[in-house]
Amino acid sequence: MSANVLAQFTRRPPPPGERCELCGEPLPGEHRHLVDTARRSLKCSCPPCHLLFTRPGAGQGRFRAVPDRYLTDPAFTLDGEGRNRLQIPVGLAFFFRNSALGRFAAFYPGPAGATESELDPATWDAVLGRTRLAGLLQDDVEALLLRDERGLPASCTLVPIDVCYELVGRMRLHWKGFDGGAEARADLEEFFTRVAARSRPLRAEAEGAGTPGGAP
């Protein structure tokens, strides 16, 4: 994982005068991102530049626009066998397909960053391929965010990839000791509350959900 990606989310708010990394225009504090598939990093972008890469055919080049859709699968379940195959250390992980390598990757956030692991196709099919979210996932720019913490039902949400990098940055910034500490736990709850508020059930978005720009 690129250190440049994590640096963007361990500083808050963005520094004054931050500019679009394509055209140089000033950016607001809340802005969109592009994935640089060659460098495996995120680029901050202004609305016009982001819109440019949402047009049909634009996603075949080096830069791809990160959508803004959040979908959840209420029917998703994770049994003991699935947990063993995924081996999620702290109950959090995200998965996406790297188009350059032609394979799925798994990332496990932790206090030192995110550990990357190649996810074999059999595990993907057996554990994550069962949710229809897997069929909607856009390469490089979206991920399946899995939460399976003790005492909570497992959840699987399709989210923009930059949201996952934000999660990694938050954990690096706040996590202390073995269990993270009260501050880290409160920050994680705030993060997942925000994700849940933006998420739409899969049934309501099943048709027409695969547009490059994502749901508004």
Q: How confident is the model over 141-186, as pLDDT tens digits?
A: 999 999 998 778 899 999 999 999 999 888 887 777 666 678 878 8
Residue 216 lies in a domain: no
Task: Examine the domain organization and report whether 9 and 35 are in the same domain.
Answer: yes
Domain count of the fold of the chain: 2
Task: Examine the domain organization and report whether 186 and 97 are in the same domain.
Answer: yes
Task: Examine the domain organization and report whether 99 and 43 are in the same domain.
Answer: no
Task: Examine the domain organization and report whether 32 and 116 are in the same domain.
Answer: no
Residue 214 lies in a domain: no
Q: Which domain holds residue 141?
A: 71-202
Task: Examine the domain organization and report whether 135 and 169 are in the same domain.
Answer: yes
Considering the chain, what is the average pLDDT of its residues?
82
Task: Examine the domain organization and report whether 95 and 139 are in the same domain.
Answer: yes
Question: Are 140 and 96 contacting, i.e. CB atoms less than 8 angstroms apart?
Answer: yes
- Both tokens assigned to 132: 């229809």
Task: Examine the domain organization and report whether 29 and 79 are in the same domain.
Answer: no
Residue 215 lies in a domain: no
Name the more confident of 182 and 53.
53
Whether 15 shows a pLDDT value over 80: the answer reads: no
The model scores a pTM over 0.75: yes
